[in-house]
Amino acid sequence: MQSTMHRLLLPPPPPPTLSNFNRPFFTPSNTSSLMGVKWSRKASSENSGRRFLSKAGDRRRRKKLNVFARRAEEQRLIEEESSQMLETIPSIRVSPGLAHPLGASEVETGINFAIFSQHASAVTLRLILPESVDAGTIELALDPRINRTGDIWHICVEDLPRSGVQYGYCIDGPRSWNKGHRFDSRNVLIDPYAKLIEGRRLFGDVSNRMCTFYGTYDFDSLPFDWGDNYKLPNIPEKDLVIYEMNVRAFTTGESSGLDPDIRGSYLGVIEKIPHLLELGINAVELLPIFEFDELEFQRRPNPRDHMINTWGYSTMNFFAPMSRYASAGGGPVNASREFKEMVKALHDAGIEVILDVVYNHTNEAGDENPYTTSFRGIDNKVYYMVDLDNNGRLLNYSGCGNTLNCNHPVVMELVLDSLRHWVTEYHVDGFRFDLASVLCRGTDGTPLDAPPVIRAIAKDSVLSRCKLISEPWDCGGLYLVGKFPNWDRWAEWNGIYRDDIRRFIKGDAGMKGKFASRVSGSADLYMVNKRKPYHSVNFVIAHDGFTLHDLVSYNSKHNDANGEGGNDGSNDNFSWNCGAEGETSDANIKALRSRQMKNFHLALMISQGTPMMLMGDEYGHTRYGNNNSYGHDTAINNFQWGQLEARKDDHFRFFSELIKYRLGNHHFRREHFIGKKDVTWHEDNWDNYESKFLAFTLHDGNGGDIYLAFNAHHYSVAAALPLPPKNRHWYRVVDTTLESPSDCVLDGVPGISGIYNVGPYSAILLEAKE
């Protein structure tokens, strides 16, 4: 908006402070134009014409005008003709606003903004209005005597558009680093309670790597229509089969065959639901979909500045869905809607949605090379654990430079509010908490026996229907597998299961007893109080570490492409390359690898507990030995649909059939831990350190017994089969030495009795049938 007029107040005003306001006049019901407003109009080419302030150039270009509001009877307004085209301040009327709810909310008098900062001395709200309003950037300095209630700063702005406004905060406060403060009013900070985030629109757009991220809101869109017949799957935990997957990597490759506009998006997942149904899983565990900056490594020169963060374990905001997972660069509002469309489509297919959430740290890194976008600049001492005995340095139990202070009351409420938001607004079914042992530490990092935030999540009424899964360790050595505080609600990623299964299947000595404990439900870890077998989330493979193909193809990690000299990633992989490192043309080695992958999958699917598999293992995806591939937006991580088609009739078929066999058989999905009457161990050699053969029979009391044998020796074992129940006969369902389709026949192959020759590095499953 341009005019030949500008407005001034006469007589000359006092210094620009909100102290000029008479409090009774400045109330929500009696608003006034705000003094101290700074306004500029500019259009940036960044992000397709959306406006973003630069930290230097915009300050030089900004024309600053101050408007000082006073009682109406004391004001005299004059208009002065000008020969120049001067920018004028739009009509901005404000009131003190409300302290709750936090974030941006629509109230009767306008849009209310509220943010917590206990230690701030000055807070400025920055608004970037849509181009349709043509009003540029507005800064509103909040007066602590009027716009602060306790530790909440707040203001209500009238006549703002109901959507399309970007907002952030500039906050100042004590500069005493040694006391844990990191205030710097030059930074534009994201509201922790912003429900949507605006930034670059296209994933990995390096031309826009340095963009500033802002909060935004949408009060224009109608409520999402979940449908008249919509219902939640509500799958019992004992019946879950979890598929860990990455939204972008699932369909971003050209081999997905999808329209380029929806590759790597929430809508892309919808298009591939038929694959998930064919595989047979009934829950997806999505790698982080909270807003993150995939180009964070490229903001400064460093050994990792060639990488793009595709895993997303670097949260910027805990309420906003990743905006660059919207189709066609559609932005945050579309991302929110399309995420709901994805959840609805998955639910309609009978598939639950579990989110991998990162409350142990944020994207803001450490003190050496901070990336300040929100919490650090708002109130570092509250939001992060700091060591006041060490010059106020950040504590680092996450391995990522900072540690979220989750058991501080304010941070705990943030965690709970965001979890509730994902359940009520987006209808998700559960959460997997990354490095959850961090949430078991006090504000000084000391481990807690009964951490308040863990208890609060377990007891929260809104979250009561949700699956709660912990990754029960952190980078500070707090290893809580089998000991995670749980209130009989929390399940755990069972890292001990992973390691013991790997070691037995690959042929390590002395592992038979541990293997038996793991496949029978890890009662030694979880049979406490009211915990159940399904509180053990069993996995052999997860996103971090080797894929299943690489577990049987590499003895060592090969992480040179990560830029850290091979120092990143775990060295304790318990892998075996079956005779050659990496890719090979040796037919015998390739056959052994295939057999071992089947052995692992069989062990996982017959184990008591909740099985989880990794996206891509159903066709044998390889990362070529990279066991920490978080920064590769390439085929290393991307699902290879062409390879899936090539393996549909053998490897994929075996994996799919076994998942369906598990879900159709109550033996493997027990509500309670198995007892002596439920299993017969065909073993009198438990103490033999060199024994690598284990056979057992599962009973159901109705004659439908199942016999299993695992041979991790390099030679065959002649197994004497037990007699089947009366009027029953043994049918072979699985023999991993056989070629497809004979390796897995769900109806069973009859004529099995007496002695069964269990081949080297193989496993069998027999079912007693009439």
Residues noted as catalytic:
434, 471
Identify the residue whose tokens are 């709810």. 101
Whole-number Å distance between alpha carbons of 86 and 79: 13
Whole-number Å distance between alpha carbons of 519 and 496: 12
Identify the residue whose tokens are 């066609």. 328
Q: How far is CA 578 from CA 497, 587, 590, 704, in A?
A: 22, 12, 8, 36
Query: Coil, strand, or helix at residue 357?
Result: strand
Q: What share of the chain is helix, strand, coil (3-state, %, to 5)?
A: 25, 25, 55
Whole-number Å distance between alpha carbons of 499 and 435: 18
φ, ψ of residue 287 in degrees (nearest 5): -55, 160
The H or E element spanning position 512 is: helix 512-519
The set of residues, in sequence order, having a beta carbon less than 8 Å from that of 704 and lying 6+ positions away, is: 667, 725, 728, 767, 768, 769
Q: Which of 198, 547, 219 is nearest to 373 (CA)?
A: 198
Question: What is the layout of strands, in order, in the sheet containing 729-735?
Answer: 679-681, 693-698, 706-711, 762-769, 729-735, 744-752
* Maximum separation of any 2 CA atoms in the chain, in Å: 108
Tell me if 273 sits within 8 A of 351, measured CB to CB.
Answer: yes
Chain centroid offset of residue 606 CA: 28
Tell me if 609 sits within 8 A of 537, measured CB to CB.
Answer: yes
Q: Which of 492, 454, 475 is nearest to 612 (CA)?
A: 492
Q: Which residues pair with 467 in a beta bridge?
A: 430
Q: Which residues pair with 523 in a beta bridge?
A: none
Evaluated on CA atoms 377, 381, 384, 389, the torsion sign reads: positive
Identify the residue whose tokens are 């284990």. 694
Q: Which of 486, 474, 602 is nearest to 536 (CA)?
A: 486
Whole-number Å distance between alpha carbons of 596 and 109: 66
**How crowded is residue 434: how many other Cβ atoms within 10 Å of its Cβ?**
23
Query: Coil, strand, or helix at residue 203?
Result: coil
Total residues belonging to the chain: 770
Q: Locate 355 and state its tokens.
A: 């989110």
Q: How far is CA 616 from CA 157, 305, 530, in A?
A: 50, 27, 35
The set of residues, in sequence order, having a beta carbon less than 8 Å from that of 760 and lying 6+ positions away, is: 711, 713, 714, 715, 716
Whole-number Å distance between alpha carbons of 667 and 223: 44
Q: Which of 407, 400, 418, 358 is nearest to 382 (CA)?
A: 407
Chain centroid offset of residue 481 CA: 20
Whole-number Å distance between alpha carbons of 165 and 218: 9
* Helical H segments across 349-402, by residue range: 375-383
Per-residue buried b or exposed e for 237-262, using 16+ beta carbons within 10 Å of the residue's own CB:
bbebbbbbbbbbbbbbbebbebeeeb
Chain centroid offset of residue 508 CA: 34
DSSP state, 743? T
Chain centroid offset of residue 530 CA: 28
Phi-psi region of 190 (alpha: psi -120 to 50; beta: other; left: phi over 0): beta
